[in-house]
Structure 1
Amino acid sequence: MKLLYLIADGMGGWPLDELQGKTTIEAADTPNMDELARTGMVGRAQTVPEGMAPGSDVANMALLGFDPATYHTGRGPIEAAAQGLVLDPDDLVWRLNLVTVSKLTIDGYMRDYSSGHIATEVSRPIVEELQKRLGNETYTFVPGIQYRHLLVQKNGANTDDAKLFINPPHDITDKPIKLDLRAYSKSPQLWDLLFEAKEVLEDRNLNSSRANSIWPWGQGRPLILPNFEETFGMRGAVISAVDLIKGLGNASGMSVIDVEGATGLLETNYQGKVDAALDFLKDNDFVFVHLEGPDECGHGGNAAEKAEAISRFDARIVAPLREALKDEDVAWIVTCDHFTPIVERTHTTDAVPFIINGPGLEPSGVKAFTEATAEGTGLKLDKGHELLSFALQCLGMK
């Protein structure tokens, strides 16, 4: 039997007055997920361990079966794994956003964590120039995708910088940056780098985008994960537009499939992801298909767009995969990594709803797939990293 694990990032949410008391899942058109829920097992999983920040890095690590409390070192190291960076054990790897702030002072605000979803062809030359002007024996700027880049601090894991807490910029949209600047100020080198980068970004010959500051955060030592195939007995792949999923795949020895035109936004190459998944499953056992769109719409605070992103996930990912594999021996897990409620515009620690569907399972008796129906079954896994093993056991695959 082959297993498809389908993730709509940030899909979960809370009831909204503007949707007549519905969540965005309830407002979306999801006949395929509803059918899988009616004929399958539905419940909830706590993907974010107590005391850990509800990031996609933590939650997706849990979904892939690895305990974040044991293996998670930071967001930056996961994305470094995606790029295959060769690192020393004591290097400190920061995720580096290009952001828009009202002003880089204690009375400033975070206006945009993505600088208007800056395009890679615009952001990459900027980060390359930052490396040219500011890179040194301590700091190396590493270009990534869109607004997501890296900063490697040589031997930084042995310094107090490793203990600094900087808010993820998507958690503080339209909120003050005062506490973060105070944290940066505890590291004189990092403080200087922040303001030197600001001067570089003010060069309009280099930068015509909305980016006016760098934002290092999510730092940690290089990531080490167990091998996925040795752990779960399946040859697997990840398919995603975002580096953190690719990094988790690389670090656990999975295949990482790049899809041209996969953007991580509402407009993305849905069919390319479907085709890549089907092609991989011809000779392999497991595929983890990740769609970022619902999360990005949640951060944007747009309920209609988030509902549309969920509808597209159902119609353009779940539906064509079901149709293509209707005569095959397959099983399904469908879920999200965390909630991204519209009113919060960031992630929360709510337990996420999931579907497990496959031969021989006793249906939970729900009529549709929503946060409420999942809660109503009474099935909850308090350790989200056990969801994959639980599903394999229920499906007779372990």
Structure 2
Amino acid sequence: MKYVVVLGDGMADRPIEELGGMTPLEYAKTPVMDALAAVSEIGLVQTIPEGMKPGSDTANLAVLGYNPRDYYTGRSPLEALSIGVDMKPTDIAMRCNIVTLTEDDAPYEDKVILDHSSGEISTQEAAQLLEAVRAELETAMYKFYVGTSYRHLLIWDRGQVIDLAQPHDVLGQKIGKYLPTDPVLKDMMKRSYDILVNHPVNQARKEKGLNPANSLWFWGAGTRPALSSFEEKNHKKGAMISAVDLLKGIAVGAGMKNIIVEGADGTLHTNYEGKAQAAADVLLKEGYDFVYVHVEAPDEMGHQGSVERKVQSIEYLDGRVIGPLKEKLSASGEPYRMLIMPDHPTPICVRTHTSDPVPYLLYDSGAPGSYSWKYNEREAKMSGNRVDKGYQMIDYLFSGQ
């Protein structure tokens, strides 16, 4: 038996007036998922434990079977694992986004955050910007590391875990009241603007009509993680396919194989087909039992507030990942179970994550049923099926031995 999770990050949403009161998942043309729903179990699952922040970190840990209350030590330490930073017990890791702030004569505190991803800046461009920051700001106590696209890392030696605002929660707002209370971190953010605002990379981006990446933003502080082995825990040999450092870091911590797909970049135009092929290969050619296929695009489109592009990202997931992967697995004759779900909602109306339960679809190639469901939030709720502890979903997936 082979096992697959296809995770559409932030895919769940709320009804949208311009879509006739439907969610993007409900509105999107998803013939593959709807056909699967007709022979599958659907329902709702609560991935975010009560009282915890609704993040991709806690939610994806839960989907992989790790209770966030037991295993979560912060988002950035997981990303540090992916980048290859060997954290000391006294280190604090922080996410270091390169964001877009308004460019005017207003004091730094009065600037408005326009884009948490700087127009999904390329890693190559971001690395040049981070190098300029490193030359001015890095010390023995504060070290910068290049990640992917706008997502980078700061390691604070003998630091503190402090509460820091997530940039995607501050979109369209003046940043003053959301800046760090720690004076050094706040000063580094302010100085980064002066370093980056006129950098040649940003001058070139503005000439092309792209958002400049003109300030650092620190968030997601945490300590070194300690995940138990996925294989020892589940008796399944597992692999991860993701363009996002967070998911790669979870895989490193859990002892899973990380598969790098050329052209997979976490954007709307990622290499969907490459992810599907890589998933099929690791299961059917390399003999792995389990693969986790993570697609970031629906979440990014939710943060951008783009209804059209979020719908498009869901349609791409359906037709360019799930469809081809299902065909390859079915053609192999190997029995398999496939779980399709988001990690959390990223509703267009708020442009950030929420803790609402998300719809799941569980397909078993050897146990076809006959239902009238389609896969979306509304019908998942109507099914009456509900899993209250998201970290139990992986056991549910593996229960079909």
Please, what TM-score do these two structures have when normalized by structure 2?
Answer: 0.93
Aligned to 2:310: 306
> Which residue does the alignment assign to 1:122?
125
Is 1:264 aligned to 2:266, yes or no? Answer: yes
Q: 3-state DSSP class of the match of 1:276?
A: helix
Provide the residue aligned with 1:50 in structure 2. 50
- SS of 1:106's equivalent in the other structure is helix
Give 3-state SS (helix, strand or coil) of 1:69's partner.
helix
Measure the CA separation in 1 of the matches of 2:278 and 2:378: 33
- Give the superposed CA RMSD: 1.6
List per-residue Cα deviations over 1:331-372 (Å, max 9, x = no partner): 110101111111111111110100111156574834211101
Match of residue 173 from structure 1: 171
The alignment-based identity, stated in percent, is 41
For structure 1, list consecutive stretches of 5 or more residues without a partner in the other structure: none
What secondary structure sits across from 1:325 in the alignment? helix
Residues 41-92 of structure 1, C-alpha deviations (whole Å, 9 max, x = no match): 1111111111111111111111111011111111111110111211101100
Is residue 346 from structure 1 mapped to residue 314 from structure 2 by the alignment? Answer: no
Partner of 1:383: 389
1:197 aligns with 2:195: no
Distance 1:124 1:329 in 2: 44
Where 1:355 maps in the other structure, the secondary structure is strand
Q: Please point out which of 144, 149, 163 is paired with 1:146.
A: 149
TM-score relative to the length of structure 1? 0.94
Query: Any stretches of 5+ residues in structure 2 without a counterpart?
Result: 206-211
Aligned partner of 1:60 in structure 2 is: 60
Q: Does 1:135 align with 2:124?
A: no
SS in 1 for 2:173: coil
Give the drift of 1:194. 1.8
Distance in 2 (CA, whole Å) between partners of 1:189 and 1:225 is: 31
2:253 to 242, 251, 254: 251
Q: Read off the aligned partner of 2:364 and give its amino acid letter.
A: G
1:129 Cα shift? 2.4
Between 1:360-369 and 1:319-328, the stretch displaced more is 360-369
Q: How many residues are treated as equivalent by the alignment? A: 387
Q: Which amino acid aligns with 2:232?
A: E
Shift of 1:104: 5.7
Please name the residue that 1:285 is paired with.
Answer: 289
Shift of 1:107: 2.8
Is the Cα contact below 8 Å between 1:4 and 1:287 reproduced in 2?
yes
Correspondence for 1:13:
13
Letter in 1 for 2:94: W
Aligned partners of 2:120 and 2:267 also within 8 Å: no
Distance 1:67 1:316, change over 3 A: same
Summarize the Cα distance change of 1:361–1:101 in structure 2 as closer, same or farther, 3 Å threshold. same
1:48/1:54 contact within 8 Å kept: yes
Structure 2 SS opposite 1:88: coil
1:76-113: CA deviations, max 9, x gaps? 11110111211101100000000112266333321110
Contact 1:41 1:362 in 2 (8 A): no
Contact 1:128–1:142 (CA<8 Å) still a contact in 2?
no
The offset of 1:176, in angstroms, is 2.8
